[in-house]
Structure 1
Amino acid sequence: MTPEEVGRRIVALLAPVEATTTVSGGQGHARATVDVPVASWRDAVRAARDDAELACDFFDWLSAVDELADGFDVVAHLWSVRLRHGLLLRTRVPRETPVVASVVDVFPGAAWHERETHEMFGIGFEGHGELRPLLLPPEFEGHPLRKEFVLASRAAKPWPGAKEPGESEAGGGRRPIRPPGVPAPGEWGTTPTPAGAAGVGEGPRGGTPARPARERPARPAPGERPTRPARPRPAADAEEGEG
């Protein structure tokens, strides 16, 4: 079946539910992409698996996309091993209550994917029963793949050093531009501002002190012979000289 035929077939199976179909990708990578209401999510996955013409018996992956104020898109890719065609199913959940039905009872292999999506985006999968941490430590707070989540390493990583003439190792010269969404120094966190990341000592959190300047000997006057500092004598030679 072509991607267009796959899309029309799943829409017909879900009628009278309103579902829309498009084709993503191109040539051999083209896939039917079907958007379904969140209430019909599990039914759509089951219909794609059980229908003889679709026969999408292999669960490939499931994840989500943060669409900011529009909510989250939950996306699943199914594949037919026998008929060699794929199907992208997609539904949108509101940001205020990001909950969708679990499809573990349809594809047990979705358990790992739903746990990861719950952990990274904060989306609940009703009926899963075991949405425990998968990749992050239990004490971790927040959902790293949400777009409002600030990656601390982007703000705390020190400036890599002098890259152009006039830039010193102490952080002088041109300052780096903060990535989008990263707060200004001193607005969050307890880690001191690294030297060069936002200026030495800048912000209420303080900063890393600059490297002290080296002391250089004074230059001799014109015509005067430079003097070399006396080298310390070994202890044994000093005692013999005194005797």
Structure 2
Amino acid sequence: MTSDAHDAQDVHGARDAYDSLPDAVAEIFGEGATAELAYDLLTVDVPAASWLTALETARDRLGCTYFDWLSAVDEPGTGFRVAAHVASVRPRAVRRLLVRTTVPHEAAELPTALGVYAGAGWHERETYEMFGVTFTDHPNLVHLLLPEAFEGHPLRKDFVLAARVAKAWPGAKEPGESTPGHAGPKRRQMLPPGVPDPNEWGPLKGQLPPAPTRPA
């Protein structure tokens, strides 16, 4: 069999494996994997222990040799959902695949995907600095966008938005409440996630009365 014939066989095999999903997800990605197909995007969720194996399966068995991006989402009460978007870019047959896994907040760690997709290196650095997810065996897991002295991970839901201590959140008042002569009842002021109580964090810490009795 010629090399061209081998390539054609590999392409057909990858297409057949991809087209068998999401029904054959356990057979292809192993126990504990789930999958769904929506808007021409196939999403496969795997246990954290199967992260690298799933990426290798995507590359070798499904033909997804193109690495697009890797990032994470902070889901309070669940952990960090890490996702890698890859694709098969064979002529006239572009297929997209999102491989995801979840790691707990208290043990946010995954092995680096550099050995599978070389392009994952910078994406893992960004995910590390923004969310605090550690990628073990990464050769240079240092800040990519933030200053070296920056403390904390700004895309975590519990990260304090210090700017809101100095300037109130714009949504703290309903339209018209800030206009002179407004005599309507004041609603209870709300703070979005990440905005601290100024009596708990910032220059006025410990100097304000309890929130229910505090003037606006």
Gaps of at least 5 residues in structure 1 are 168-172, 194-201, 205-243
* Maintained 8 Å contact 1:60/1:78: yes
The Cα shift of 1:150 comes to 1.4
RMSD: 2.9
Q: Aligned match of 2:36 in 22, 37, 40?
A: 22
Q: Any idea what the Cα deviations from partners look like across 1:41-84, whole Å, max 9, x if unmatched?
A: 11110111112xx2101111111111222111111111111130
> Which one-letter code corresponds to 1:7 in the other structure?
P
**Structure (1 or 2) with the greater strand fraction:** 2
Percent of aligned pairs with the same residue? 50
Aligned equivalent of 1:61: 69
In structure 1, how many angstroms separate the alpha carbons of the residues matched to 2:27 and 2:188? 58
Give the structure with higher Rg (CA): 1
In structure 2, how many angstroms separate the alpha carbons of the residues matched to 1:117 and 1:36? 19
Q: TM-score with structure 2 length normalisation?
A: 0.73
The Cα shift of 1:174 comes to 9.2
**Structure (1 or 2) with the greater helix fraction:** 2
Instruction: Count how many residue pairs are aligned between Structure 1 and Structure 2.
Output: 183
> Which one-letter code corresponds to 2:181 in the other structure?
G
Q: Following superposition, which runs of at least 4 residues in structure 1 exceed 6 angstroms of deviation?
A: 173-176
Q: Aligned match of 2:208 in 190, 200, 203?
A: 203
In structure 2, how many angstroms separate the alpha carbons of the residues matched to 1:50 and 1:4? 15
In structure 2, how many angstroms separate the alpha carbons of the residues matched to 1:88 and 1:40? 14
The Cα shift of 1:110 comes to 0.5
Higher relative contact order (CA 8 A, sep 6+): 2
Q: Any idea what the Cα deviations from partners look like across 1:171-197, whole Å, max 9, x if unmatched?
A: xx999643334222232123x69xxxx
Q: TM-score with structure 1 length normalisation?
A: 0.66
Aligned equivalent of 2:5: none
> Which one-letter code corresponds to 2:37 in the other structure?
V
Q: 1:165 to 1:71 in 2, by over 3 A?
A: same
> Which one-letter code corresponds to 1:71 in the other structure?
G
Q: Any idea what the Cα deviations from partners look like across 1:191-215, whole Å, max 9, x if unmatched?
A: x69xxxxxxxx739xxxxxxxxxxx
Give 3-state SS (helix, strand or coil) of 2:147's partner.
coil
Q: 1:151 to 1:9 in 2, by over 3 A?
A: same
* Maintained 8 Å contact 2:161/2:196: no
